Structure 1
Amino acid sequence: MSTTDREIRNVVLVHGAFADGSGWRGVYDNLTSRGFRVTIVQNPLTSLEDDVAATVRVLDRQDGPTILVGHSWGGTVITEAGVHPNVAGLVYVSALVPDAGETSAQQYEGFAPTPEFVIDVVQGYGYLNPDTFRAGFAADASDADAAFLRDSQVPVNMAVFSAVVTNAAWRDKPSWAVIATEDKAFDQAMLQHMAKRINAEVTNVSASHALFATQPGVVSDVIVSAARSAAAGVR
């Protein structure tokens, strides 16, 4: 049965670097209350291959067409994993969007760094500096939520950003982008450039890089719109 024959009710959420799936709780609650079946991937953040494998295992469990959502580094993961036959559309949440043959690191070329986003590297794994964590990652979070995100962060193998992507799912599947206009992890021009290149339908929101956790209503609304549009074959 094609996606045009029925509604899309499955959503898979993929977190980025320095985070785990718990940050998606608000989006999960919003979408499940609206009748969606939501599954959250727990990326090990050890390699692109490992994170894609974790995502594919979840996609294999879906019972039909699915909207695949990625935040930050999760954008690279869904770009690779999104060729899975269950994926009907992609939603990039302030996310990296490489092409086949490119690395995540290449997406930064030509764009200015943001000094608030400070990564400490220990034995090849990156952590966000605790002193600048809130300013660089979650400026619009409450004190308590920012502290939780800071203290639950998952270190990322910095080598993942040099891994070459072999598939670009956005070339064959419709894409949407939610962009945080106060993002300090990525240059704003970089985010807009990546979204434009893939012809994504863009929603801008005044938020920090942690919008996946701090702006669940906006993110959820875009996912719902993507599900409806993909099912109708609009994009």
Structure 2
Amino acid sequence: MSPTPPTVVLVHGAFADAAGWLGVMDELQRGGIAVLAVANPLRGLTSDAAYLASVVSQIDGPVVLVGHSYGGALITVAGTADHVVGLVYIAAYVLEEGESLSELQDRFPAPPLLRSLERWTYPTERGKTATEVSIVPAAYPSVFAADVSPSLARVLAASQRPLASAAFTEAASAAAWRTKPCWALVAEADQAINPDVERFGARRAGATTVELEGASHAVTVSRPSAVADLICEAVRATS
């Protein structure tokens, strides 16, 4: 444990942005916890994890990394930094070293999300293009945010940020949970990641785990107090 209280670094996943942590941040800040919500580039596992690691390296003192969804894969890689003292997975992928998102997901039945993606292209270096995916807006409420109000789900759908397709097949270069204490929240009604994927990853990592009945993938929005409670548990345990 650290004599200095850790900074909590929140990492959002695909089809969302840092605003998805607003309720969680409010809970944590009112509890006197230092918080930073990172803008995840969503361009690929390797580059996104490197970006997160660069942010973490510039924070003084211990850090608890919190990853939602695809953000869980990033904290798994970036969490190897010496001053990262804990990892918290929120409805997230918990990868093994050398494993990709697709490889982990393919162990289990596909979630409805995979049938609700649309493809876009974006420019890369030297005039080339790459593919990214987002959720069809009409499907977003049911597959991502079933337990938030319809009006808010429409706003989330309209403001979602796409994920580069390459992120699904890039392998994790490290598994920080092998040497760091972990906590995990399973969203039992998740339609974006099969909840069994979340359970499997949490169990494999030896994470202290809670499950929320009826929680959608947008659990950081719909259940901010429950998410914050688990993060506070990690902060207390590492302080």
TM-score greater than 0.5 by the shorter chain: yes
Partner of 2:223: 215
Tell me the distance in 1 between the aligned counterparts of 2:113 and 2:54: 35
Partner of 1:121: 119
Tell me the distance in 2 between the aligned counterparts of 1:179 and 1:133: 20
Q: 2:200 aligns with which of 184, 188, 193?
A: 193
Residue 80 of structure 1: how far off its partner (Å)? 0.4
Aligned residues: CA RMSD: 1.3
What SS does structure 2 have at the residue aligned with 1:95?
Answer: coil
Residue 150 of structure 1: how far off its partner (Å)? 0.5
Contact 2:46/2:172, CA 8 A, preserved across alignment: no
Tell whether 2:200 aligns with 1:203.
no
Q: Deviating runs (4+, > 3 A) in structure 1? A: none
Tell me the distance in 2 between the aligned counterparts of 1:114 and 1:185: 6
Tell me the distance in 1 between the aligned counterparts of 2:8 and 2:58: 12
Write the letter of the residue equivalent to 1:26: G
Partner of 2:57: 60
Question: Which 10-residue stretch deviates more, 55-64 or 181-190?
Answer: 55-64
Q: How does 1:11-160 map to 2 (within 5 A)?
A: 11-115=8-112, 118-123=116-121, 124-160=131-167
Tell me the distance in 1 between the aligned counterparts of 2:6 and 2:73: 23
Contact 1:23/1:213, CA 8 A, preserved across alignment: yes
Q: Where do 5+ consecutive residues of structure 2 fail to align?
A: 122-130
Residue 50 of structure 1: how far off its partner (Å)? 2.5
Write the letter of the residue equivalent to 1:197: R
Tell me the distance in 1 between the aligned counterparts of 2:191 and 2:198: 11
Q: How does 1:153-192 map to 2 (within 5 A)?
A: 153-192=160-199
Q: What is the TM-score when the length of structure 1 is the normalising length?
A: 0.93
**After superposition, what is the alpha-carbon deviation per residue over 1:98-133, rounded to whole angstroms, capped at 9, x for unaligned?**
111111111112311223551112231101011110
Contact 1:32/1:38, CA 8 A, preserved across alignment: yes
Residue 7 of structure 1: how far off its partner (Å)? 4.6
Contact 1:116/1:135, CA 8 A, preserved across alignment: no
> How many residues are aligned here?
228
Tell me the distance in 1 between the aligned counterparts of 2:200 and 2:26: 31
Tell me the distance in 2 between the aligned counterparts of 1:58 and 1:115: 33
Question: Which 10-residue stretch deviates more, 103-112 or 126-135?
Answer: 103-112
Residue 147 of structure 1: how far off its partner (Å)? 1.4
Write the letter of the residue equivalent to 2:103: Q
Residue 96 of structure 1: how far off its partner (Å)? 0.5
Q: Percent identity?
A: 39
**After superposition, what is the alpha-carbon deviation per residue over 1:129-170, rounded to whole angstroms, capped at 9, x for unaligned?**
111100000001112221121111001101111111111000
